[in-house]
């Protein structure tokens, strides 16, 4: 049983919100179309991803070189690969770039690999409560928790749909607790309009499962 319910309608609303808001990063899809092989244009992919998503990788050229080396080896393409890449890149930057690596893997290697993001992680924990995975490795725990969330919710949606919900909902509820929090500027505009009038932002309201009557009380 989930600690916080999650319905199919919320996932559907997340897909609609994503589509209506033009949140899809077309540049990454275009890059993958032009350079379909994971080993192609690694530096270009890394630079664009880092710039568009603000993943804060400062030594991006060296990190891209590290990725090229690891991609040239015949490694797995599953969750273990992400952990291996994080460890490999840490030898270059002395930092664990989970967000960057997970996004690179999701967009350019395997779209069924979940995007790891602080707000998404926070949201998954809120839904699962004590049902969270005890795995000490951050990305493996993320994957196991996402699968557990799907299992307990009783539905099977695409990874991108769930990613959209977790990111938006995570940012909203964290911002709700602390409105000085630095979050996505465009999302913040939607949140402010929702707070100003619960009858506004219908799609976002459905995503968050907020009832107009209770919100207005």
Mean pLDDT of the 185-210 span: 93
pLDDT digits 0-9 by tens, 177-197: 999 998 999 999 999 999 999
Mean pLDDT value of segment 55-76: 90
Q: What would the pLDDT profile of 102-137 be if each residue is shown by its tens digit?
A: 999 999 999 899 999 899 999 999 999 999 999 999
Q: Which residues contact 112 (CB under 8 A, 6 or more apart)?
A: 159
Please give the average per-residue pLDDT across 92-99, as a whole number.
Answer: 95
Angle at which helix 159-177 crosses helix 138-153, to 10 degrees, equals 100
Residue 214 has pLDDT above 70, yes or no: no
pLDDT at 23: 80
User: Which residues fall within 8 angstroms of residue 149, CB to CB, at 6 or more apart?
Assistant: 2, 6, 124, 127, 128, 162
Pick from 9-18, 149-158, 161-170, 187-196: least confident: 149-158
| Average of per-residue pLDDT values in the chain | 91
* pLDDT, mean of residues 132-144: 97
Compute the distance between CA of residue 149 and CA of residue 60 in angstroms, rounded to an integer: 34
- Predicted confidence (pLDDT) at residue 217 exceeds the cutoff of 50: no
On the question of pLDDT at 24 being above 80, the answer is no
Three-class secondary structure assignment of 72-140: HCCCCCCHHHHHHHHHHHHHHHCCCCHHHHHHHHHHHCCCCCCCCCHHHHHHHHHHHHHHCCCCCCHHH
Percent of the chain at pLDDT above 70?
96
Task: Specify the pLDDT at position 9.
Answer: 93
Tokens found for residue 23: 């949140």
Strand, coil or helix: 62: helix
Average pLDDT over residues 148-168: 88
């Amino acid at each position: 049983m989930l600690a916080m319910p999650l319905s199919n309608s919320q996932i559907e609303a997340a897909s609609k919100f994503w589509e209506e808001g033009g949140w899809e990063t077309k540049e990454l899809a275009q890059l993958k179309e032009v350079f379909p092989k994971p080993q192609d244009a690694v530096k270009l992919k890394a630079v664009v991803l880092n710039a568009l998503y603000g993943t804060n990788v400062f030594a991006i050229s060296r990190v891209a070189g590290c990725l090229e080396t690891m991609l040239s080896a015949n490694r797995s393409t599953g969750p273990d690969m992400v952990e291996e890449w994080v460890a490999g890149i840490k030898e270059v930057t002395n930092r664990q770039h989970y967000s960057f690596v997970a996004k690179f893997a999701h967009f350019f290697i395997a779209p069924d690999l979940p995007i790891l993001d602080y707000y998404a992680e926070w949201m998954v924990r809120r839904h699962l409560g004590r049902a969270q995975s005890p795995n000490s490795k951050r990305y493996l725990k993320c994957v196991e928790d996402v699968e557990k969330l799907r299992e307990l919710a009783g539905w099977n949606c695409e990874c991108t749909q769930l990613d959209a919900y977790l990111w938006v909902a995570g940012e909203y509820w964290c911002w709700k607790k602390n409105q000085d929090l630095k979050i996505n500027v465009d999302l913040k505009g939607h949140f402010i309009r929702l707070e100003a009038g619960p009858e506004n932002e219908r799609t976002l309201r459905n995503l968050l499962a907020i009832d107009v009557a209770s919100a207005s009380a």
